[in-house]
Structure 1
């Protein structure tokens, strides 16, 4: 009698050991945490750099607009090309195009094609950074042209490569540490990774670039934290650099390079704000328009250096005669303007005009020891007596200044023919 064969059991699948399970679980956890931190940091970096690069391009375009304004007005293409070329060499730009008011090409500058890496940088910049920035060039309220600036992306590309390399290095260190760790090490790894992810999220959500990952006991994660902190240091340095560059460009756009005084653009903007406040409070605002009576004679006879010294000396004396709340600006050439706001009494403008004329009496000493005598003529206009807006107030003060100059150089007059004392 034959017996039936016993059933054949299926082969058993090898089961992983607890150590392998822990290693794999920790590996997955470490990978997810580092990937989240890396993606968050890259996203934050791109957003921040894009925003700051856009502001930088906008301020650079505005600065270029002020630089080529005169060339556009006088149709000097060569001067415009030279001016934008000098500025472009110092900035991270790929192309600058200046057109006239009708959109016709006026002047242009373009970075040479360069190597394949340079072309790759421009391709990355075209995708990741803001597109070309275009600003209007305005002269006396009339649009005389346009300036278009396109970023090169060299700094962004280098920074991006360094960031990706650092993140990949951090990820490699984390994977190696996860592979050789145990259950106890696993618990010690989770907390540092969570802290790192928390810093990355804080940087992304709150722009908290000052946050840093604290040192930990495990060497691999400590190295990861150091690399992460190094990336944050680079991001913070880049942010501060862009902030400083933006501030510098903004200062150049609103201040006179020779005297350091605010220029016409800033003066008119602040005058407009002061008139708005005065309309609410019912107080007066005074504008003094000043012109140097002997400037052309000094410039032609003693040279441009002497003329510059006279302008600097006049600016210094004007500052010394005014209150901290008052504003003095150089409008261009040998013309200055002073805003007195607020003013309780109209007679205060007359006293200040007299003080300014008195301050111009001493001669200005040049660098070679020679002395130059100078004087100014002043026109005074008051809000709301002579005009209700900034441009009208400046025109009224300018007209009064010319009446004072014709009547007697070195004197002052009030708008609408009211003359100051001789």
Structure 2
């Protein structure tokens, strides 16, 4: 049996929420790893590209300031490097003469915090300053040192971050769409199976079944669950049949199939209660087979059983459908007539029952037996006011009829209110 959650414990997450969070994590990790890998590769490529570009730029500046170095024209050198550096992604250019002394310089002004941040990023990510010798007729007349600005790299970095954020947004959207599809393909079949399980547990609806689904594992789970329900339904039907059989056996005579004494007395009490409310009469016929012990002793128990079965069939055929005929035990039978409008009707029915006993009963071996019945009749509330008193009055009347003349019937002599 499932134990309830302890008080104060957090609620358990649903399968849908767990799978949705897993999708989001997977999407985030996948996009982040792809973005980081792409940025790393791009940074390496950009670093190599920036290094080559600075080398080319340094050579170009060397060719440009060669004449100025030879003739010692610092102003021309400064104008030349400034004209070129302003068009390139360059932060600083330093020109020295052949003795290593400063000759000319150019530096990009830093006007904002973003520019300073770009310069710091460039100092970390881009290659260090590139230096190239300036030759004139094979003689070193100076050198040019160039440091990159990093604007292109910084723009690429911002673009990469934007791409990551855009990828995460797309991943969230994709995870949501995927979770909805997952709900249809996985969660919905599981919910349907849980619904059937709840209906079976709460309502004992063993006839319900899980519908087939597209996913093989879930479909197999549904098939196994349906097979279990088949077994449970078969077990329940068998149990119902056994209960019905036990109930029938508890309330019916095994030989004749008629209601037994327990059921007869119970239904007689209910009939008397209804009669007390409506003011109607109820008649009780108490029947006993004459000389049955002689038949049983002389012809055997099999013949006795055949006689009892024959008597039960004849009495039942004589009674209206609404009446109750029962075997009280041994060779004693009883019939209830409810409601009884006229007391005389009970006598006519008793005479009819005795008339049906006139033909002999054929035994299984072909022999025949002549049977007579003695009947006592008691009427509520004329002869008794309760079930026990009515049965006693009818039983006493039956014995008077048997002593007076076997095969006859008599009314009870007791008065209303006496047992």
TM-score normalized with structure 1 length: 0.56
SS at match of 1:324: coil
1:320 aligns with 2:321: no
Task: Tell me the equivalent position of 2:185.
Answer: 188
1:309 aligns with 2:310: no
CA distance in 2, matches of 1:384, 1:231: 57
Q: Which structure 2 residues correspond to residues 347-386 of structure 1 after superposition, within 5 A?
A: 347-386=344-383
SS at match of 2:325: strand
CA distance in 2, matches of 1:227, 1:349: 62
Post-superposition Cα deviations, 1:218-237, rounded to whole Å, max 9, x if no partner, equal: 11111111111111112211
Instruction: Tell me: higher relative CO, structure 1 or 2? Use CA pairs within 8 A at least 6 residues apart.
Output: 1
Contact 1:379 1:398 in 2 (8 A): yes
Task: Tell me the equivalent position of 1:260.
Answer: 257
Q: Structure 1: any 5+ residue segments left out of the alignment?
A: 1-17, 26-181
SS at match of 2:264: helix
1:21 aligns with 2:50: no
CA distance in 1, matches of 2:364, 2:203: 53
Post-superposition Cα deviations, 1:19-71, rounded to whole Å, max 9, x if no partner, equal: 9923999xxxxxxxxxxxxxxxxxxxxxxxxxxxxxxxxxxxxxxxxxxxxxx
Task: Tell me the equivalent position of 2:229.
Answer: 232
Q: Which structure 2 residues correspond to residues 230-309 of structure 1 after superposition, within 5 A?
A: 230-309=227-306
CA 1:189–1:23 in structure 2 vs 1: closer, same or farther (change >3 Å)? Answer: farther
TM-score normalized with structure 2 length: 0.56
CA distance in 2, matches of 1:232, 1:24: 39
CA distance in 2, matches of 1:336, 1:388: 21
Task: Tell me the equivalent position of 1:152.
Answer: none
CA distance in 2, matches of 1:414, 1:22: 90
Contact 2:269 2:386 in 1 (8 A): yes
CA distance in 2, matches of 1:310, 1:272: 29
1:197 aligns with 2:194: yes
**Structure 1 runs (4+) greater than 6 angstroms displaced:** none
SS at match of 2:284: strand
SS at match of 1:217: coil
SS at match of 1:289: strand
CA distance in 1, matches of 2:289, 2:308: 9
Quick check: which has more Rg, 1 or 2? 2
Contact 2:354 2:372 in 1 (8 A): yes
CA distance in 1, matches of 2:215, 2:263: 56
Deviation, 1:268, is 0.2
SS at match of 1:258: coil
Q: Structure 2: any 5+ residue segments left out of the alignment?
A: 1-18, 27-177
CA distance in 2, matches of 1:280, 1:187: 62
Q: Which structure 2 residues correspond to residues 7-406 of structure 1 after superposition, within 5 A?
A: 21-22=22-23, 184-185=181-182, 187-406=184-403
CA distance in 2, matches of 1:19, 1:325: 67
Contact 1:400 1:417 in 2 (8 A): no
